[in-house]
């Protein structure tokens, strides 16, 4: 319960009203009864007072603020503890909106962004000089006193980290900070070493958001957030005057990024060229390099004139000097970053079509050759795994072969299949797959599907895919997806990679599930090994440490084809229309596209299935529009 107005803490501070509430505690406006000053009180939540990590985070903020004295950093009054156990931090009360609220009214001008940069960099420099890295810089944590950008103040040092080697973060190496504005190091990239350069990167993202009036879009999902930080963000929507100034702040590799807030402040020094660290930190080296470059260009102009543009472009890029028109340079940089991150032949060819003689044209052609060779090397080798792009699902090639599809009446009697199920799994018939087929090693995950929705804007309407009614990680299989949704996902993979992706046919799915076995389950007829291979309904079969709903993919043991979760976890959509029996079914592995196509087949059972459903032959007819918490999918790719 929030503290009521009028409550007096420690005979010193009288609560006036609640200002904000967060995961660690609540912030109140209060009056200091001894001085009459208005203050802000950050009160740790009662249930967290005795939690060692949370208490340490809270006290760290007090320690950090006590050491930093700068008008751009919120001022510290003291930390207090009551006899009741309540702990709170008293700080300067800053009257004014947050930067995020100011940006809701529209973007800042270039001059305003530069003024904001100067103010925040000065404050963060004061923190860094005390060996304190903020690690959570964002528009929410910048308050504009009296609404004035010139009085912007950094708040919330709750997850600040000391970098003097004396103390380590109580969070350890785990993520800390708002994902949208976190640095690559905070995501575990580039050695996971968080120092002052992390704040430089976060400040760059805050300034980009200020110039756009919105975030750059660096954190749609955790998986995409990590991928986005492997390359320079797309700055093409920013005013050209700011692109070259933000580029050295937003280099993914800390070794190539501006190393300190002093270098950020150097942008505002008289006579300093805007546009990067080259002339800021390497004056003599750059001067000598430029002179040498001039000699090389003079020689090439006579002997190899066609190479001049390429040599100048590459040398200038290496020195951090401007190349051509700023807009063209930024657009090409962003386009190449996207193509390189996609790592698909269609994406790189599209880049070459846009910049056939650009700085990266030769590298792009080499990459196409490499990708084509890589694709050829992974073609149809049974058991070999691959990904066609960083956000694509991992696939495994299956061997060609034949099998008997369906179940016998004896199996159904032994498994106590309800009589109402009829003969849906019969009659058994032989099927031969004589073509190269790769199948998803895992069910498509929530993170992989989120990348598709983000990239395409595919309408999910009122689907529960992000909130199925139980907790999921991005490694759990996506659920609440209809047959139309999963078909759209496969089509997107085809467009993205230039390869043919689709849903498996019912025959292909059962071939993959059986993995050469002739028994009811790929490990045998019995249930003795069920808990090693399948996530199923606990009421039907007790498994130790069994999750109550979906489990992250790949946690249990695979079958002989190295396919995981073919039985249990989630039921899986396949291509086929529903038919009550297998009479007249294809024998070549193709999908059956006649029958009741308003219903499509799902296979494999789910986390909510009884053991008799957890068999290779079990099949169900499900309305194609169904979106529920038990049904997901995996994809196949043909050679």
Of 82-86, 273-277, 409-413, which one has max mean pLDDT?
409-413
User: pLDDT confidence of 409, banded at 50, 70, 90?
Assistant: very high
The pLDDT value given to residue 323: 38
What does the chain come to in residues?
Answer: 639
Exposed / middle / buried, residue 592 (Cβ in 10 Å: 0-12, 13-18, 19+): buried
CATH of 385-638, one of 3.40.50.10420, 3.40.50.10210, 3.90.1580.10, 1.10.3720.10: 3.90.1580.10
124-132 average pLDDT score: 86
- The average confidence (pLDDT) of the chain is 83
Contact 269, 117 (CB under 8 A): no
Tens of pLDDT, residues 177-193: 468 899 998 888 887 78
CATH 3.90.1580.10 placement within the chain: 385-638
User: pLDDT confidence of 58, banded at 50, 70, 90?
Assistant: low
Q: What is the distance between the alpha carbons of residues 50 and 493, in angstroms, rounded to a whole number?
A: 49
For residue 516, CA distances in Å to 385, 412, 435, 444, 573 come to: 19, 20, 16, 23, 22
User: pLDDT confidence of 401, banded at 50, 70, 90?
Assistant: very high
Closest to 210 in 3D by CA, of 136, 105, 124, 89: 105
The pLDDT value given to residue 167: 28
Of 73-82, 336-345, 483-492, which one has max mean pLDDT?
483-492
Tens of pLDDT, residues 544-603: 777 889 999 999 999 999 999 999 999 999 999 999 999 999 999 999 999 999 999 999
Tens of pLDDT, residues 512-547: 999 999 999 999 999 989 999 999 876 556 777 778
Residue 141 tokens, joined: 């944590």
Q: What is the distance between the alpha carbons of residues 625 and 605, in angstroms, rounded to a whole number?
A: 18
CATH 1.10.510.10 placement within the chain: 99-275
Q: Point out the least confidently predicted range of 189-198, 304-313, 544-553.
A: 304-313
For residue 611, CA distances in Å to 68, 571, 630 come to: 62, 13, 15
The yes/no answer on whether domain 8-92 falls in CATH 3.30.200.20 is yes
Provide the whole-model pTM. 0.51
Q: Which residue has the higher pLDDT, 30 or 296?
A: 30
Contact 529, 604 (CB under 8 A): no
Of 280-294, 370-384, 590-604, which one has max mean pLDDT?
590-604
Whether 439 has a pLDDT exceeding 60, the answer reads yes
Q: What is the distance between the alpha carbons of residues 128 and 197, in angstroms, rounded to a whole number?
A: 10
The yes/no answer on whether domain 99-275 falls in CATH 3.40.1160.10 is no
Q: Which residue has the higher pLDDT, 193 or 121?
A: 121
CATH 3.30.200.20 placement within the chain: 8-92
Tens of pLDDT, residues 618-637: 999 999 999 999 999 999 99
């Amino acid at each position: 319960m929030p503290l009521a107005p009028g409550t007096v803490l420690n005979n010193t501070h009288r609560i006036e009203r609640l200002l904000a509430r967060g995961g660690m505690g609540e912030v109140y406006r209060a009056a200091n009864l001894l001085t009459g000053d208005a203050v802000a009180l950050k009160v740790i939540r009662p249930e967290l007072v005795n939690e060692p990590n949370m208490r340490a985070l809270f006290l760290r903020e007090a320690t950090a603020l006590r050491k930093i004295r700068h008008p751009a950093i919120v001022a510290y009054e003291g930390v207090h503890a009551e006899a009741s156990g309540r702990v709170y931090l008293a700080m300067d009360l800053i009257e004014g909106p947050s930067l995020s609220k100011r940006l809701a009214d529209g973007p800042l001008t270039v001059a305003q962004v530069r003024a904001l940069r100067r103010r925040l960099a000065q404050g963060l420099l004061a923190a860094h000089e005390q060996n304190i890295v903020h690690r959570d810089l964002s528009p929410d944590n910048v308050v504009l006193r009296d609404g004035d950008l010139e009085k912007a103040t950094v708040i919330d040092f709750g997850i600040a980290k000391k970098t003097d080697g004396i103390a380590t973060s109580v969070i350890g190496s785990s993520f800390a900070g708002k994902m949208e504005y976190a640095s690559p190091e905070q995501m575990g990239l580039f050695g996971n070493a968080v120092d002052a350069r992390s704040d430089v990167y976060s400040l760059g993202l805050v300034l980009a958001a200020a110039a756009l009036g919105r975030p750059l879009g660096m954190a749609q999902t955790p998986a995409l957030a990590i991928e986005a930080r492997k390359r320079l963000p797309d700055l093409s929507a920013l005013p050209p005057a700011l692109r070259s100034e933000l580029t050295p702040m937003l280099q993914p590799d800390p070794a190539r990024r501006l190393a300190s807030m002093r270098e950020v402040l150097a942008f505002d020094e008289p006579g300093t060229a805007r546009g990067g660290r080259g002339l800021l930190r390497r004056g003599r080296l750059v001067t000598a390099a430029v002179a040498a470059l001039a000699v090389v260009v003079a020689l090439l102009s006579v002997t190899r004139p066609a190479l001049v543009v390429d040599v100048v472009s590459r040398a200038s890029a290496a020195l951090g000097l401007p190349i051509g028109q700023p807009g063209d340079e930024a657009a090409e940089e962003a386009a190449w970053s996207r193509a390189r991150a996609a790592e698909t032949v269609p994406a790189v060819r599209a880049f070459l079509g846009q910049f056939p003689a650009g700085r990266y044209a030769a590298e792009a052609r080499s990459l196409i050759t490499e990708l084509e060779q890589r694709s050829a090397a992974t073609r149809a080798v049974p058991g070999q795994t691959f990904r066609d792009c960083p956000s694509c699902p991992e696939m495994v090639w299956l061997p060609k072969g034949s099998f008997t599809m369906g179940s016998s009446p004896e199996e159904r009697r032994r498994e106590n299949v309800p009589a109402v199920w009829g003969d849906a799994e019969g009659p058994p018939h032989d099927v031969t797959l004589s073509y190269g087929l790769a199948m998803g090693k895992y069910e498509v995950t929530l993170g992989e599907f989120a990348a598709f929705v983000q990239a395409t804007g595919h309408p999910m309407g009122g689907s529960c895919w992000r909130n199925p009614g139980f907790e999921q990680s991005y490694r759990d299989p996506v659920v609440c997806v209809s047959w139309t949704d999963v078909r759209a996902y496969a089509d997107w993979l085809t467009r993205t990679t230039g390869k043919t992706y689709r849903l498996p046919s019912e025959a292909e799915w059962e071939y993959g599930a059986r993995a050469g076995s002739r028994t009811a389950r790929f490990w045998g007829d019995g249930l003795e090994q069920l808990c090693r291979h399948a996530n199923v309904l606990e009421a039907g079969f007790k498994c130790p440490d069994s999750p109550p709903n979906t489990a992250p993919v790949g946690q249990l043991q695979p079958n002989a084809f190295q396919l995981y979760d073919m039985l249990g976890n989630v039921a899986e959509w396949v291509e086929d229309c529903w038919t009550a029996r297998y009479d007249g079914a294809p024998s070549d592995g193709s999908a059956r596209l006649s029958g009741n196509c308003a219903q499509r087949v799902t296979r494999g059972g789910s986390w909510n299935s009884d053991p008799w459903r957890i068999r290779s032959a079990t099949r169900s007819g499900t309305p194609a529009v169904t979106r529920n918490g038990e049904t997901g999918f995996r994809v196949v790719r043909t050679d």
